[in-house]
Amino acid sequence: MNKNKILRIIPIGGLGEVGKNMTLYEYGNNILIVDAGLMFPENDMLGIDYIIPDFEHYLKDKRDQVRGMIFTHGHEDHIGAVQHLLEMVNAPIYATKLTLGLLEVKLSRYGMLAKADLRPVNAGEQISIGPFTVDFFHVCHSIPDGVGLGIETPAGLVVHTGDYKFDHTPVDNWPTDYAKLAEFAQRGVLALLADSTNATEPGWTPSERTIEGALDQVFETAKGRILVATFASLISRMQQVADAAERHGRKIAFTGRSMVENMNMARSLGYVDFPERLVITLEQSLTMPDNQVVLMCTGAQGEPRSIMGRLANGTNRKFDIREGDTIVLSSQPIPGNEEPVYRTINQLFRRGADVIYEAIAPIHVSGHASQEEIKLLLHLVRPKYLIPIHGELRMLKQHAKLAKEVGMPKENICVVENGQIIELVNGELQLAERIPGDYIFVDGSGVGDVDRSIVRERESLAQDGIVVINLVIDDQTGQLNGDPQIITRGFILMDEMQPILDGVKTRIQETLRSSDGNLQGQVLRAVKSYLYEETKRSPYIVVNINRF
């Protein structure tokens, strides 16, 4: 085996989950990093701020071998761990203009901009990074300026899509680069790593452009103000809403820091284009007739601290929902996030607004390829091997089924999860060792100082609350000195507590009388079983015993 002709692919994140995408390509002593994203915690990961991929395990001894980092687009699940990665790795960062802009915003927030060696690339360019010759090709997605990668190595050509869809009529008129994909096929693609997020969606993801009709209908029927909420990164939606405002004789105001920042950046870089007279300030909008105004803000996911979240709660500072407002939530609830989204919608209705959301009208489309697009990609690229990426296992498996349907041999489809290293050698794919591919929790300023065991403790605290008992015992008499102090939190209502507290005290006295040694353990067990008998609940119990 020729040790020099092995390309190793190390999936650090995004295989077996949606989020925290990160892949390493390793050839000899050279590592190329593609993306370093974050993942938002699931509902039962209590208190966790976000999750980053476990790159430390593999990179800690190889940090000097990293030749470059490529970010395929500017979404958090692809760039959100960059500040953590830069604490460890020092290498040039390659990305397109908008993606670099979003990286800059993020890195300056963490005071790390000076440390970053940012190198702009354009879709269509070819760049050499160590032994990797990388073709950047344009892809459509729900943020502009996304790219996929053709990574040529001495072991063969690998195509890495990043997130993509095949939109024939994108809002920026820039379709995915079909020609480049076909050109890769001409060269011969050894392996394709492709987005699986929508592998369970039949058909073809609708074009961004299809939203225009639904927007027009909203603008035609709305009598009062129109408020459109979406992601701050959904630059094309800003263009579409501004265009609709222009068509229907309304002015548009952007509100919310991240929305305004992104709009300004996209505007200065030329990713959106609307006339000066169209855009007004929030303050101006508040003094204009309702039917001449569109407001655009964040909070389509029901985030409580976003503008839309605060409007729903009635806690927004600068303005409130008015009877007759029409609100458009231009997004799809992130799976697991349905409850806060629908709660927000219900609250907005309660405040007298009409709310248009995805279930009601086609005011959002996905940025990921559906089944027919995935099949088209396979036919365009004609890879020898397919490695589904970006998705939960069920999505990767479905991606594999699609590949079988278009005729790929089963043994050429490689479904693996985070940490399973893949080697391409002499034109063949083989599995190598498996490394940890776990969650690294970020909580407050701590990275990795909370793990699943701590989250389980939080869960059990949350289940029935806590009871803290403080006893002072006279060492001479063995008697309680004063009443036990009992503090509870998250247990039961104060009003209902007195008989239970009395019962606890009685049990403590009884235990004290019969105790033969380990008083702390005995009090704990007595109180625990008493509380369970009385309430069928098991709060966390702390017993402090002080003797003197």
Q: Which residues contact a second copy by CB under 8 A?
A: 16, 42-44, 46-47, 200-201, 335-336, 338-339, 342, 345-346, 349-350, 355, 357, 359-360, 392-394, 397-398, 443-446, 449-451, 453-455, 457-466, 468, 470, 472, 481, 485, 487, 489-493, 496, 534-537, 540, 542, 544, 546, 548
Whole-number minimum distance, CB 57 to a second copy, in Å?
16
Helix (DSSP H) and strand (DSSP E) numbers for the chain? 16, 26
- Is position 243 annotated as part of the catalytic site? no
Q: Are 308 and 297 in contact (CB under 8 A)?
A: yes
Catalytic residue among 195, 325, 354, 464: 195
Distance CA 369, CA 409 (A): 22
Catalytic residue among 84, 138, 160, 368: 368
Q: Please report which helix (H) or strand (E) contains residue 472, including its range.
A: strand 466-473
390 annotated ligand binder: yes
320 annotated ligand binder: no
49 annotated ligand binder: yes
Q: Are 172 and 70 in contact (CB under 8 A)?
A: no
Q: Are 408 and 381 in contact (CB under 8 A)?
A: no
Whole-number minimum distance, CB 466 to a second copy, in Å?
6
77 annotated ligand binder: yes
Displacement of CA 270 from its chain's centroid (Å): 26
Whole-number minimum distance, CB 537 to a second copy, in Å?
4
84 annotated ligand binder: no
Sheet with 439-443, strands from edge to edge, namely: 50-53, 439-443, 446-447
Q: Which is nearer to a second copy, 179 or 359 (CB)?
A: 359
Whole-number minimum distance, CB 201 to a second copy, in Å?
8
Q: Which is nearer to a second copy, 30 or 337 (CB)?
A: 337
Q: Tokens 């379709």 identify what position?
A: 175
Residues 6+ apart with CB under 8 A from 470: 484, 485, 486, 487, 544, 546
Q: Which is nearer to a second copy, 221 or 509 (CB)?
A: 221
CA angle 185, 188, 190 (to 5 degrees): 110
- Is position 195 annotated as part of the catalytic site? yes
Whole-number minimum distance, CB 364 to a second copy, in Å?
15
Q: What b/e readout covers 512-533, taking b as 16+ CB neighbours within 10 angstroms?
A: beebeeebeebbbebbbebbee
515 annotated ligand binder: no
Quick one: DSSP state of residue 143?
S
Whole-number minimum distance, CB 136 to a second copy, in Å?
32
Of 15, 34, 32, residue with least CA distance to 23: 34
366 annotated ligand binder: yes
Residues 6+ apart with CB under 8 A from 238: 254, 263, 266, 272, 296
75 annotated ligand binder: yes
Q: Which is nearer to a second copy, 92 or 448 (CB)?
A: 448
Q: Which is nearer to a second copy, 23 or 370 (CB)?
A: 370
Determine phi and psi for 511, rounding to 5 degrees.
Answer: -65, -40
Distance CA 40, CA 81 (A): 12
Q: Which is nearer to a second copy, 279 or 466 (CB)?
A: 466
Quick one: DSSP state of residue 232?
T
Which residues line the annotated binding site for Ca(2+)? 47, 49, 443
Which residues line the annotated binding site for substrate? 364-368
Residues with a catalytic annotation lie at 195, 368
Which residues line the annotated binding site? 47, 49, 73, 75, 77-78, 141, 163, 364-368, 390, 443
Which residues line the annotated binding site for Zn(2+)? 73, 75, 77-78, 141, 163, 390
